Amino acid sequence: MTTLSNETTSKFAQAGDIKVHYNEAGSGDAVILLHGGGPGATGWSNYFKNIGPFAEKHRTILMDQPGFGETDSVVIKDEPRDLVHARAVKDLIDSLGIDKVTMIGNSMGGASSIRFAIEYPDRINKLVLMGAAGGGISIMQPMPQEGIKIMFGLYNNPNMEDLKRMIQVFVYDPSFMTEALIQQRFDAMMKHPEHLKNFMDSMKPPALGLEDLTPRLSEVKAKTLIIWGRDDRFVPLDHGLKFLWGIPDAELHVFSKCGHWAQYEHADEFNQLVLDFLDRD
Amino acid sequence: MIQPTTRAPESQYAQSGSFKIHYHEGGSGHPLLMLHGAGPGANGWGNYNRNFAAFAANYRTIVPDHPGFGQSDSVVITDEPRDVVHARAFKDMLDTLNIDRTHIVAHSMGGGVALRFAIEYPERLDRLVLICPSGGGRSIMQPTPSEGGKSLAPVLRDPTVDTLRRFVHFLVYDPATVPEELIERRYKAMMERPEHLKNFLKSMSAPVPVASDLSSRLHEVQASTLLLWGRDDRFAPLDHGLKFVWGIPDARLHIFSKSGHWPQYEHTLAFNQLVLNFLAG
């Protein structure tokens, strides 16, 4: 297997009125992976440990969502953010000539993926969610969660110290996060200050943010694998249970000693679990 | 639809301390012990016949009947918790078979026994797979005893096809997946050893638990552990799965939806794949 890099897999496509950046590798059934909503998050930064194994079996696309990475910046006021993102995915696969995709989403990208499954049921194969947003209120933890509070602070005032604080609670074992990785994330965050400002503008009332999708989970027709970190400090584990009860055909896998980033913290187990799930009838 | 493997390997017996233990064995390689649950008429083969072939293809797979079940010796247990007695019997069985270390896959009461085994005999255990195990104490989400648990004693007191059918239907999410032949086969097995039923009932009225509450000792489990649960389990409450994934140091929890207390029967293919991957490390 050749080693993939951000540079060699980087591509752009027009998706409706948004120019979308994505990384692509491999061939076969298409899989789109959507990153989370932290400042500086991109498809590559979220999934660089996963794209290699996935690309051996699938046409693997890491999409920068609207307002993230090298995709166009957006201010979203009139619609829920997850709906805008889901539409951008649909426009992207139209533009790439892809009929059906498997959606894999982390955190905010999980909410975008659930929304995609609800809005475009004939365009989705399977659905995989890691610490997915879109579950509304917690019934077990005070909100906003510890990690979310730090994240919004960082959006308002991007700085290295708070970035490190966020990473401390982002993963179960912060020693995973190398200085190089933290620096990369800092650089990514500072590269597009317009994304940060626009994200916060899109959170101010009356903007809608991410919608509580729990009343609509029964509309998810795709077979779904829900994955959670036991020690998630961004999106609470009880949302995993809510999704398990609400989505008609779902299973839930909980990693212990795992925060909000299962695909990174337990990359090998994650890759096998998800690839097997995609293989299964 | 998975068909059961119709023919069990020939019956074998091992003197295990004071018990003569009946078992079936197949395959070669690293030892794997599969422990069944506690319902009336339960035995190793009845519990795992849909799974045996897949495991025997990879492991020296040993499927015993617990003391007081199937064709193993009957017993009235009055002085020690039942899980202690069974765990010791299986340790003795390993001694007799000259097995130093084994993987264990264990279901329901067998899971409580396996937990006890993991705590008492850590040097004899490699990997541990617990399927909706007992041993979690009280539920914090459901009234105790559970609906399914309450259906046990009526079968022991009045063993008929009808009381047994009622019990078995509580075991699964969808009773339509249990053919009447299975009930009849189990009824026949149950009536071959009516003393097991009487003795279990007597043991239940003794001042020792059938399944100790091991929640305070979970941190002593050194084995890498996979927990499997049915979302719709009417015997072992799902919150025990969460308790175990918090308490056991190296654990992961996988929950099937539309699954009751018998996921290895209800979700055979996914079950076999998950467990085999986990055992392979």
Quick one: pLDDT at residue B264? 97
A interface test, pick of B127, B245, B257, B274 with most A CB neighbours within 10 Å: B257
Q: Which ipTM was obtained for this model?
A: 0.83
pLDDT value for B101:
98
Q: What is the pTM of this model?
A: 0.90
Quick one: pLDDT at residue B144? 85
Which parts of chain B register pLDDT below 50? none
- DSSP secondary structure, A16-70, as one string: TTEEEEEEEE--SSEEEEE---STT--HHHHHTTTHHHHHTTSEEEEEPPTTSTT
Mean pLDDT of chain A: 96
In terms of C-beta density within 10 A (0-12 exposed, 13-18 middle, 19 or more buried), how is residue A205 classed? exposed
Distance of CA B224 to the CA centre of its chain: 18
Is A268 touching B (CB cutoff 8 A)?
A: no
With an 8 Å Cβ cutoff, is B219 touching chain A? Answer: no
How far apart are the CA of A250 and the nearest CA of chain B, in angstroms?
6
Query: Tell me: the pLDDT tens digits for A51-84?
Result: 999 999 999 999 999 999 999 999 999 999 999 9
Tell me, what's the pLDDT at B3? 62
For testing contact with chain B, the best of A254, A265, A274 (most B CBs within 10 A): A254
pLDDT for B167:
96
Closest CA to A131 of A277, A258, A220, A269: A258
Q: pLDDT (tens digit, 9 = 90+) per residue, B51-75?
A: 999 999 999 999 999 999 999 999 9
Residue A42, pLDDT > 70, answer: yes
The residue among B161, B24, B237, B58 whose CA lies nearest residue A241 is: B237
Active site residue A260: yes
What's at A20, amino acid-wise?
V
What's the pLDDT score for residue B4? 62
Contact list, B253 vs chain A (CB under 8 Å):
252-254, 256
pLDDT digits 0-9 by tens, A133-151? 999 989 888 889 999 999 9
B198-to-B159, B164, B171, B193 alpha-carbon distances in Å = 10, 15, 22, 10
Q: What is the pLDDT of residue A140?
A: 86
Interchain CB distance below 8 Å, A254 and B254: yes
Region A142-167: mean pLDDT is 95
- For the segment A86-131, what is each residue's pLDDT rounded down to a tens digit? 999 999 999 999 999 999 999 999 999 999 999 999 999 999 999 9
Is A266:A255 a contact under the CB 8 Å cutoff?
yes
User: Is B276 within 8 Å of chain A by CB?
Assistant: no
